[in-house]
């Protein structure tokens, strides 16, 4: 199953647009599930939930071993959820054993696109799995709230780096660490060591299996004192987290109001807003995104007044989204009207990155190009703005012609009076119909 999943990821390319992504090896997942079977009562009749499920590798594994009755995941990245649905269909087609196992299930696995703080309950789940590396304290507290409020949930496995058992480094008991995050009636029953992620031989993790038990923990004064200190810390931290979330919500509301005012003013003046024009490129490429799922790219629903930004070339591009055109200044690569860049020979989507820490910068494709001939030929990696590749291929008359060429043959956004912006303000939507000329900033 994991071999099939690796093939699926190679075809679709990339991983997502939000947060971190990584997967445990097949052996590590098996060790985690075996520990839950042995110590936490995970059975065929159980309902399994993966919090931060990615593309559902752990869920699919649990459906085969120990063949749980049903499994569902919670993932806040829409691209990963789309890929999880596509991965299920891929396994049903390519893996007869998996298809046969699904015939005995009450329902197919489900991937829910939501933030953990927005989830009201984990019911009817009996066992939960979550990978905590990179997860915020607010998200961990939200899981603690769900643990307390879900009567059906019996056990949870948490994979992370070592939970300190030294008073000099943190909490003396893992239960105390969990109590500091709001978990109640919790007891550690097993620790799985030596877990590894695919593609990483150095980093190792541990899986902690906790079960619900009203009288959790050893009966000694040190444990009781530690738990009291943990509960007090939770009360303090919960107030700080609530204040931080309220402040963030207020900033978001102010930003939305500002964009609404800009949109109203732009509509009155019949021109694109500042948010739609885009921002200057940051020189630091920091975040990987997934642009390999064609379903994620969509044609913009244009209003009649927006026709002035398209031109005949853009309208034809929107109608031909399934066709690929070779990239003029990137030999061996082609791009469709939705902004998906792929290799001409392998048909594999290019790896793309955004240019800002918040993931809101322009999207750049990293392409391997051949230079030289004969024995002196070699491949070098170069980054091209996806919107420039689309403009040259699909909008040469009304977009590319207005922007001077750079030394590498691409468009030079630092020269001239114009640059390319986005009609809907979404920099992940590099479709030809969504691109528009805007005045260059100096």
Give pLDDT tens digits for 284-294.
233 333 333 23
Same domain assignment for residues 201 and 302? no
Taking every pair of Cα atoms in the chain, the longest distance, rounded to a whole number of angstroms, is 79
Higher pLDDT, 308 or 345: 345
Cβ neighbors of 19 (< 8 A, separation 6 or more) are 52, 76, 77, 134
E strand intervals along 37-135: 47-51, 70-75, 110-113, 127-131
Of 295, 277, 287, nearest to 441 by C-alpha is: 277
Task: Supply the pLDDT for residue 346.
Answer: 85
The confidence score (pLDDT) of residue 238 equals: 80
- For residues 187-222, one letter each, b for 16 or more C-beta atoms within 10 angstroms of the residue's C-beta and e for the rest, the string is bbbbebeebebeeeeeeebbbbbbbbeeebbeeeee
Query: So what's the pLDDT on residue 402?
Result: 65
Q: Do residues 60 and 143 both lie within one domain?
A: yes
* End residue of a domain, out of 170, 191, 219: 219
Average pLDDT over residues 118-123: 91
Residue 270 belongs to some domain of the structure: no
Q: Are 147 and 285 in a shared domain?
A: no
Domain boundary among 191, 219, 247: 219
CB 350 within 8 A of CB 342: yes
Cα separation of 422 and 212, whole Å? Answer: 51
- Among residues 219, 242, 269, the one where a domain terminates is 219
- Which pLDDT band, with edges at 50, 70 and 90, does 415 fall under? low
Q: What residues does 206 pair with on adjacent strands? A: 160
Examine the pLDDT at 246 and tell me if it is beyond 50: yes
8 A C-beta contact, residue 346 and residue 12: no
The per-residue pLDDT for 18 is 47
One domain, residues 160 and 282: no
More confident residue, 298 or 202: 202
Same domain? 207 vs 304: no
- When pLDDT is cut at 50, 70 and 90, the band that residue 144 belongs to is very high
CA atoms within 13 A on the CB side of 385: 27
CATH of the domain at 137: 3.40.50.150
Q: Give pLDDT, residue 192.
A: 93
User: What CA–CA distance (Å, rounded) separates 402 from 400?
Assistant: 5
**Does position 63 have pLDDT exceeding 50, yes or no?**
yes
- The pLDDT of 175-192, averaged and rounded, is 90
**Confidence bin at 355 (pLDDT 50/70/90):** low
Phi then psi dihedrals of residue 421, to 5 deg? -120, -165
75 located within any domain: yes
The answer to whether the peptide bond before residue 428 is cis (omega within 30 degrees of 0) is: no
* pLDDT classification of 130: cutoffs 50, 70, 90: very high
Name the residue among 6, 356, 308, 24 with its Cα closest to residue 159: 24
89-98, 392-401, 423-432: range with highest mean pLDDT: 89-98
365: closest CA among 377, 354, 379?
354
Query: Helices 221-269 and 137-149: crossing angle, nearest 10°?
Result: 110
Within a domain: 11: yes
At 270-324, the pLDDT tens digits run 544 444 444 333 322 333 333 332 332 232 232 333 333 334 444 444 445 568 8
Q: Across all residues in the chain, what is the average pLDDT?
A: 75
Query: What pairs with residue 86 in β-bridges?
Result: none
Full domain range(s) for residue 209: 2-219
Give me the CATH number covering residue 429: 3.90.75.20
| Spatial CA neighbour of 71 closest among 131, 115, 128 | 128
Whether 13 and 148 map to the same domain: the answer is yes
| Same domain for 304 and 206 | no
pLDDT band at 164 (very low <50, low <70, confident <90, very high): low
Class of residue 432 by CB neighbours under 10 A (exposed 0-12, middle 13-18, buried 19+): buried
Domain count, the chain: 2
**Does the residue 59 lie in any domain?**
yes
CA distances from 105 to 44, 61, 212, 386 (A): 10, 14, 27, 43
Indicate whether 60 belongs to any domain: yes
Tell me how far apart the alpha carbons of residues 114 and 74 are, in angstroms, rounded to a whole number.
6
Mean pLDDT across 135-152: 92
Residues 215 and 284 grouped into a single domain: no
Is residue 390 domain-resident?
yes
Dihedral over alpha carbons 429, 430, 434, 438 (to 10 degrees): 120
Check whether 409 has a pLDDT greater than 60.
Answer: no
State whether 200 and 339 are in the same domain: no
The predicted model scores a pTM of 0.57
| Higher per-residue pLDDT: 388 or 261 | 388
What is the percentage of the chain residues whose pLDDT exceeds 90? 20
Q: Quick one: what percent of the chain has pLDDT higher than 70?
A: 69
Residues 191 and 330 in one domain: no
Q: Could you tell me if residue 257 is inside a domain?
A: no
End-to-end CA distance of the chain: 53
In a domain, 227, yes or no: no
Q: Band of the pLDDT at 155, cuts 50, 70, 90? A: very high
Confidence of residue 255 (pLDDT cuts 50, 70, 90): low
User: What pLDDT is recorded for position 145?
Assistant: 93
How many CB atoms lie under 10 A from the CB of residue 435? Answer: 27
Burial of 318-343, coded b for 16+ CB within 10 Å and e otherwise, reads beebeebbebebbeebbbbbbbbbbe
Tens digits of residue pLDDT in 389-407: 888 788 776 666 666 655 4
pLDDT at 270: 56
Please check the confidence at residue 30 and state whether its pLDDT lies above 90: yes
């Amino acid at each position: 199953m994991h071999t099939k999943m690796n093939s699926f990821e190679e075809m679709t390319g990339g991983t997502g647009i939000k947060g971190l992504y990584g997967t445990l090896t097949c052996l590590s997942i098996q060790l985690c599930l075996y520990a839950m079977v042995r110590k936490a009562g995970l059975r065929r009749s159980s309902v399994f939930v993966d919090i931060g499920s990615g593309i559902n590798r752990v869920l699919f594994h649990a459906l085969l071993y120990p063949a749980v009755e049903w499994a569902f995941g919670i993932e806040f990245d829409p691209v990963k959820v789309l890929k999880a649905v596509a991965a299920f269909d891929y396994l049903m087609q390519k893996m007869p054993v998996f298809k046969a196992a699904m015939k005995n299930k009450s329902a197919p696995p489900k991937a829910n696109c939501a933030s953990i703080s927005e989830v009201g309950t984990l019911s009817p789940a009996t066992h939960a799995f979550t990978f905590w590396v990179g997860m915020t304290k607010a998200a961990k507290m939200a899981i603690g709230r769900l643990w307390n409020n879900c009567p059906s949930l019996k056990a949870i496995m948490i994979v992370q780096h070592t939970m300190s058992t030294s008073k000099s480094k943190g909490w003396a008991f893992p239960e105390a660490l969990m109590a500091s995050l709001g978990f109640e009636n919790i007891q550690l029953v097993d620790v799985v060591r030596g877990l590894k992620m695919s593609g990483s031989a150095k980093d190792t993790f541990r899986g902690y299996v906790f079960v619900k038990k009203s009288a959790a923990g050893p009966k000694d004064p040190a444990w009781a004192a530690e738990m009291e200190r943990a509960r007090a810390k939770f009360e303090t931290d919960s107030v700080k987290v609530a204040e931080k979330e309220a402040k963030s919500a207020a900033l978001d509301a102010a930003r939305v109001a500002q964009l609404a005012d800009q949109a109203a003013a732009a509509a009155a003046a019949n021109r694109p807003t500042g948010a739609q024009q885009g921002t200057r490129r940051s020189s630091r490429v920091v975040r990987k995104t997934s642009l390999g799922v064609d379903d994620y790219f969509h044609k913009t629903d244009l209003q009649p007044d927006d026709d002035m930004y398209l031109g005949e070339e853009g309208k034809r591009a929107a109608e031909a989204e399934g066709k690929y055109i070779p990239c003029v200044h990137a030999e061996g690569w082609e791009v469709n009207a939705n902004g998906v860049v792929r290799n001409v020979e392998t048909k594999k989507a290019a790896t793309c990155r955004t240019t800002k820490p918040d993931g809101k910068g322009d999207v750049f494709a990293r392409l391997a190009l051949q230079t030289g001939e004969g024995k002196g030929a070699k491949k070098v990696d170069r980054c091209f703005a996806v919107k420039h590749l689309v403009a040259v291929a699909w909008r040469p008359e009304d977009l590319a012609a207005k922007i001077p060429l750079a030394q590498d043959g691409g468009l030079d956004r630092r020269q001239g009076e114009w640059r390319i912006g986005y009609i809907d303000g979404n920099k992940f939507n590099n479709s030809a119909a969504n691109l528009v000329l805007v005045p260059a900033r100096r």
